[in-house]
Amino acid sequence: MTDPAPRSASYEDLLQVPGNLVAEIISGRLITHPRPAPRHARASSSLGDELLSPFDKGRGGPGGWWILDEPELHLAADVFVPDLAGWKRERMPALPDIAWFELAPDWICEVLSPSTARMDRVVKLPRYANAGVGHIWLIDPDIRILEVYENQNGKWLLLSAHENNECIRVAPFDAIEFELSVLWAD
């Protein structure tokens, strides 16, 4: 007698995960990992701070975006929680009235950690591309690197890579310049 196929995780399963864990459903599996460590949280929070005023609020920049921390994305059968995501307001004029987003973001940022880097790169990146995410940034706060990718026909093209304390101006937020040093916990 063979074992029955494992049951696919449901949204109810995700809701039962304790609040000290981040939970996602990928390929029918419930995936959990601890909340971000301080270096990770610092990089994500600082990047959000750099982008929010000029792009979300239009202060010192063009505006026209929604920039959010850890939004819950329902893309096809998967549920993702990227560190940051942004939508152009021309595509999403108002925030939804539900607790998640079904429209793929125009930009996602994943801050890599030893426990999530493999999943972020190998599993999530192809799914983000297939869902139509336009740009993705990968930040590694341990080695102080930012990689900038653009979706071209469902494949990620590396546009640039930056390190340490460089001053950068990169897509899709190339209307402003900022120093990478603000992302690193010193």
Q: What is the mean pLDDT of each run of 10 residues along the chain (186 residues)?
A: 69 90 90 86 94 95 96 96 97 95 98 92 96 98 97 97 96 96 89
CATH no. of 36-183: 3.90.1570.10
CA-CA distance, 131 to 125, in Å (whole number)? 10
Looking at residue 3, what is its pLDDT? 55
Enter the pTM of the model.
Answer: 0.92
Looking at residue 139, what is its pLDDT? 97
Looking at residue 146, what is its pLDDT? 98
Using left for φ > 0, alpha for ψ between -120 and 50, and beta otherwise, residue 56 falls in alpha
Looking at residue 2, what is its pLDDT? 56
The two beta strands, 107-111 and 135-140, are: parallel
Give the DSSP H or E segment for 127. Answer: helix 125-131
Using left for φ > 0, alpha for ψ between -120 and 50, and beta otherwise, residue 114 falls in alpha
Name the residue ranges covered by the structural domains of the chain: 36-183
Q: What is the largest CA-CA distance in the chain?
A: 66
